[in-house]
Amino acid sequence: MIRVAAVGDIHMGPESQGLLRPAFDTLPECADLLLLAGDLTRHGTPEEARVVAQEVRGLAVPVVAVLGNHDHHDEQPEKVAALLEDAGVRVLEGEGTVVECGDTRVGVAGTKGFGGGFVGRSAGEFGEPLMKEFVRYSRRCADGLRTALEELDRQGCATRVALTHFSPVADTLAGEPPEIYPFLGTYLLAEAIDTAGADLSVHGHAHAGTEHGMTAGGVRVRNVAQPVIRRAFNVYHLNVD
């Protein structure tokens, strides 16, 4: 059994330094790794990223993260990622990483993802160049996630997790205004997950959404935005076999 702790949308700033660390220090008692599902900062500034870095530095479990839209706001995502990496966090974008949990290899594939909507109510590559690029960017994120999951499978990982910020399914958006669904996720991420295969999909972004969902292919989806789970993190159990 692998125990996966996850949380997103912690939106940390200087005044919240130390808020989550006491809970994170308990992770070895209940989890084998920690996933951070984006929107770790409020505005994506290096100052805020340093706060997050200190919050997770030296934790006794591996930490894997993706960035969210807030982490891109100051247009310095590379610096935000570098500060987190310096604190020992593995930051993913269109790639995967293998976490050794005892004798078990756990693969985590990650991308921020993007919007676009869901089957029957989604944007398409038609019309103005900006609209085409919107959808193509979403597709590139999804393709990177699929490729990363497939590579983890070739590496013989016993279990694989898809980590995104934007949602792959509409299920976990229930509670949000339907008008903004296209800006909260895209079915392209779910297609990538179902095509490549995964044991769990974790995302954030939808603060007023719902925790539980599922892809059309039967992969469990969990919205771990902190306003949804209302705690420092949730833990999900995965059977190795």
CATH number reported for the structural domain that contains residue 222 in this entry: 3.60.21.10
Q: Which domain holds residue 121?
A: 2-238
Q: What percent of the chain has pLDDT over 90?
A: 91
pLDDT of 124 reads 76
Res. 142 pLDDT band, cuts 50 70 90: very high
pLDDT of 218 reads 97
Transcribe the chain into DSSP letters. Answer: -EEEEEEB---B-GGGTTSSHHHHTTHHHH-SEEEEES--BSS--HHHHHHHHHHHTT-SS-EEEE--HHHHTTS-HHHHHHHHHHTTEEE-SSEEEEEEETTEEEEEEEE-----EETTEE--S-SSHHHHHHHHHHHHHHHHHHHHHHHHHHTT-SEEEEEESSBS-SGGGBTB-GGGGGGTBBHHHHHHHHHH--SEEEE---TTS-SEEE-TT--EEEE-BHHHH-SS-EEEEE---
Asked whether residue 131 carries a pLDDT value surpassing 90, the answer given is: no
Residue range 45-86, pLDDT digits in tens = 999 999 999 999 999 999 999 999 999 999 999 999 999 999
pLDDT of 160 reads 98
Q: What is the pTM of this model?
A: 0.97
Res. 206 pLDDT band, cuts 50 70 90: very high
Residue range 147-184, pLDDT digits in tens = 999 999 999 999 999 999 999 999 999 999 999 999 99
Asked whether residue 120 carries a pLDDT value surpassing 80, the answer given is: no
Total domain count, the chain = 1
